[in-house]
Amino acid sequence: MSLPHNYEMVIGLEVHAQVTTKSKLFSTSSTAFGAEPNTQANEIDLGMPGMLPVLNAGAVDAGIKLGLAIDAKINPSSVFARKNYYYPDLPKGYQISQFDQPIVLGGKIDIDLESGSRTINITRMHLEEDAGKSIHDMGSGNVSYVDLNRAGVPLMEIVSEPEMRTPEEAGAYMKKLRTLLRFLEICDGDMEKGNLRCDANVSVRKIGTNVLNTRCEIKNLNSIRHVMHAIQHEAERQVSIWESGGTVDQETRLWDPDLQETRTLRSKEDAHDYRYFPCPDLLPVNLDPLRIEKIKATMPELPDTLKARFMADYGLTAYDASLLTSEKTYADYYQAMLKSGAEPKMAANWMTVELCAGLNKSGKELENSPITAGALGELIALITSGKISGKIAKQVFAIMLENAEKGTTQTPAEIVEAQGLAQNSNEDELRAICVKALAANPDAVAKFKGGNERIFGSFVGFVMKETKGQANPELANKLLLELIAQA
């Protein structure tokens, strides 16, 4: 998307990713989603007098993992600070966050675009606790409610440099970051549950200038589509203001998905407004290099590395390799198929086409697939071994889906045997049928020999009809060509 009047966008994203720990950042309260309001907040979360926070080591390890994955500097000593502000769902009156000494500095993420790839640099990643949640739509007139279950939930705030120039780049960045977090298993990336949220900082400037104009921050965007639409609308709003002779006010805005517009929430605060100071209840986090090395040894194969390996080792296209590494569940499923004996390219095709179509039809995600990777790999192995054709395999696959719905367990080989679907590779039998096919269509044989190659399909169709689709197509083609050459 572009802007009128020779303007370009300057976009930086602040992404809040909930760390997948069972307890909160500074207390033992549960982080489980969906509990009754205010049932998962203890005295520490509520800021009761005399309560002291205790840092969750698992959240620190998650931050180290992300830092390693984005090739960042892991700070050997980081400090937690108090970020002071008043809001009804912030029970302590301050948020424990990190300010000038975060756990991770720098780093980069490569994003994939239609025009190629781009590197987006990361400014920092710091750990902080989440606030609670204000609820305004419970049908009680002008009354709002506060649920403190989220208060104290561990967050990683990942701040990019203002290097993105289009909503598409912002969307690609969000997708890549979410994929990375899921591969590392440090955030589930579920934006609907609020486990991954984005604040977008947007300004505009004339193309060719380096000036940074006043920016506006769009808060709490909870889907990638909303991120892209909100950025486009906000940029167009700012261009309109500048072109009419006005000035853009620095402020925080909200995205209204129903009206497809941003609107003012409050004037934008700067760091001095929050009166940051080191949290007196928490010591600095001093990281032993050995701890970092141990975490590095547990790191999984990351998406970009995995994509390159799939292309190099299995001959996959960039498109298929990108699709299979877009989610950890996809990559794991694909590799499990290969362990079952599936041919790599055929496995990629069956997974991205037949399996995805079947899952879409039943409304299921891959992690809930009724067809295991082993079963689908076995089906593909039957094709490559010549026991069934690709056409018959689709019939078997349909039966596998039906059986899964009924709770019936049958292997692909058992289905083939029970249904009598084994491919006919008996050369003598197929030769006789091919002779019959040519004898029944002498005019077609003459046309084929005269150069009409398209008519060859009619001979193959005859053979398939005679064998109820079970003829080995490669063998049938070979025999037909031999017999025509002899005719």
pLDDT at residue 140, as a whole number: 65
Answer yes or no: do 168 and 306 share one domain: no
Number of domains in the chain: 3
Phi/psi for 189 (5° steps) reads 70, 15
pLDDT band with cut points at 50, 70 and 90 for residue 417: confident
- Final residue in a domain of this structure, among 419, 445, 470: 419
In terms of residue numbers, what domain contains 274? 7-291
pLDDT over 70 (residue 301): yes
Mean pLDDT score, 396-420: 89
- Residue from 56, 79, 75 nearest 64 by CA: 75
Answer yes or no: do 245 and 315 share one domain: no
pLDDT band with cut points at 50, 70 and 90 for residue 273: confident
pLDDT band with cut points at 50, 70 and 90 for residue 337: very high
Cα–Cα distance, 301 to 460 (Å, whole number): 46
What per-residue string of b and e applies to 166-181 under the rule 16 or more CB within 10 Å gives b? bbbbbbbbbebbbbbb
Q: Does residue 366 lie in a domain region?
A: yes
pLDDT in tens, 19-63: 999 999 999 999 999 999 999 999 999 989 999 999 999 999 999
Answer yes or no: do 344 and 278 share one domain: no
Answer yes or no: do 283 and 329 share one domain: no
pLDDT over 90 (residue 228): yes
pLDDT over 80 (residue 272): no
Answer yes or no: do 385 and 261 share one domain: no
The better pLDDT of the pair 442, 98 is held by 98
- Final residue in a domain of this structure, among 419, 449, 465: 419
pLDDT at residue 32, as a whole number: 95
pLDDT over 90 (residue 280): yes
Residue 262: partners with Cβ closer than 8 Å, 6 or more residues away: 216, 218, 230, 233, 234, 237, 253, 254, 255, 256
pLDDT over 80 (residue 351): yes
Q: Does residue 34 lie in a domain region?
A: yes
Q: Does residue 1 lie in a domain region?
A: no
Token pair belonging to 271: 């760091």
User: Measuring CA to CA, how many Å separate 148 from each of 218, 274, 337?
Assistant: 23, 21, 44
Percent of the chain beyond pLDDT 70?
Answer: 98
Q: How many CA atoms lie within 13 A of 394 on its CB side?
A: 7
Answer yes or no: do 184 and 86 share one domain: yes
Q: Does residue 102 lie in a domain region?
A: yes
Answer yes or no: do 177 and 287 share one domain: yes
pLDDT band with cut points at 50, 70 and 90 for residue 172: very high
Pairing of strands 216-221, 251-256: parallel
pLDDT in tens, 3-13: 988 999 999 99
Residues in the chain: 487
Cα–Cα distance, 64 to 205 (Å, whole number): 36
Phi/psi for 264 (5° steps) reads -65, 135
Give the chain's largest Cα–Cα span. 99
pLDDT band with cut points at 50, 70 and 90 for residue 94: very high
- Residue from 168, 171, 130 nearest 149 by CA: 130
Answer yes or no: do 16 and 128 share one domain: yes
Residue 9: partners with Cβ closer than 8 Å, 6 or more residues away: 3, 164, 165, 166, 167, 202, 203, 204, 231, 235
* Chain CA centroid to CA 291, Å: 29
pLDDT band with cut points at 50, 70 and 90 for residue 269: low
pLDDT band with cut points at 50, 70 and 90 for residue 271: low
Answer yes or no: do 48 and 158 share one domain: yes
CB atoms within 10 A of CB 410: 17
Question: Can you say whether the dihedral through the CA atoms of 365, 370, 376, 382 is positive or negative?
Answer: negative
| 473-486 and 427-439 helices, crossing angle to 10° | 50
Q: Does residue 296 lie in a domain region?
A: no
pLDDT at residue 262, as a whole number: 95
Q: Does residue 2 lie in a domain region?
A: no
Answer yes or no: do 320 and 365 share one domain: yes
Mean pLDDT score, 357-364: 89
- Final residue in a domain of this structure, among 396, 419, 442: 419
Residue 221: partners with Cβ closer than 8 Å, 6 or more residues away: 197, 198, 199, 200, 227, 230, 255
Q: Does residue 406 lie in a domain region?
A: yes
Q: Does residue 408 lie in a domain region?
A: yes
Answer yes or no: do 120 and 218 share one domain: yes
Mean pLDDT score, 441-462: 88
379, 393 Cβ separation under 8 angstroms: yes
Answer yes or no: do 130 and 210 share one domain: yes
pLDDT band with cut points at 50, 70 and 90 for residue 231: very high
